Amino acid sequence: MSKIKIFTDGAARGNPGPSGIGVVIDDGGAKKTYREFIGYATNNEAEYKALIFALQKVKQVFGKTKSKNLSLECFLDSELVVKQLTHRYKVLEEDIQKYFLLIWNLSIDFKEVAYTHVPRSKNTEADRLANLALDEATRAQSRIF
């Protein structure tokens, strides 16, 4: 099976503040896109949560048995997160450590998982989705008040 490409982005308005995630999963066929408002978080938490969402979604769609044969290429525009996931930077923040461990445990269910930093200009769809999730949540909340 060919590699699955995953593009993720997390966005926080204010840091911390209202946050959203955007995910693009390209399995060589149709691209699947996801967005979700995740509540109050820092930008780094949102970046990690976007990747966690993507790994869980691939595992859910392909099932545990097929996932073992999948190679994933994950593209993030957060250089910090990529350097933490590739063990070039330590994860010092306790809140982030739990997300790092969850990603580590999720990655075991796949044949291979690679993490690559890309400039924001190469991650526009995931960025757009994360901000769209935030915009939708903000509009919905403004209608309540």
Check which CATH number belongs to the domain holding 80 and give it.
3.30.420.10
Alpha-carbon distance of 140 to 122, in angstroms, equals: 30
Q: What is the pLDDT of residues 67-103, one digit of tens each?
A: 999 999 999 999 999 999 999 999 999 999 999 999 9
**Domain limits for position 108:** 4-144
Percent share of the chain, pLDDT over 90: 87
Q: Ramachandran region of residue 28, left (φ > 0), alpha (ψ -120 to 50) or beta?
A: left
Percent of the chain residues past pLDDT 70, beyond the cut:
95
Residue 105 CA neighbour count, 13 Å, CB half:
7
Number of domains in the chain: 1
User: Structure pTM?
Assistant: 0.94
Cβ-contact 107, 55 below 8 angstroms: yes
